[in-house]
Amino acid sequence: MKAIQVKTNKRGIQYALVQSGETFCVLKLCENYCRHVKGGIAKTWRYVETGMTIEQATALFNRRGA
């Protein structure tokens, strides 16, 4: 999966528009405590919604990234 576009909203949360096969999805960058990681904060991309068309995914991405 490769990010088509990445946006940061005014609260500082990053969202990515990603194509996975023939469908599209929107991902959110989450930061959680992890004692195994240097600094204690692990960053992971988590799904907001999957299996959408490009129009649906772009609409959700623009709404979340505003």
pLDDT the model gives residue 17: 95
- Domain map (residue ranges) of the chain: 2-64
pLDDT the model gives residue 23: 93
List phi, psi (to 5°) of 8.
-120, 130
pLDDT the model gives residue 2: 83
For residue 64, give Cα distances in angstroms to 1, 4, 15, 16, 36.
20, 15, 7, 10, 31
> Could you report the per-residue pLDDT of 8-63, keeping only the tens digit for each?
999 999 999 999 889 999 999 999 999 998 899 999 999 999 999 999 999 999 99
pLDDT the model gives residue 20: 86
Is there a contact between 24 and 52 (Cβ–Cβ < 8 Å)? yes
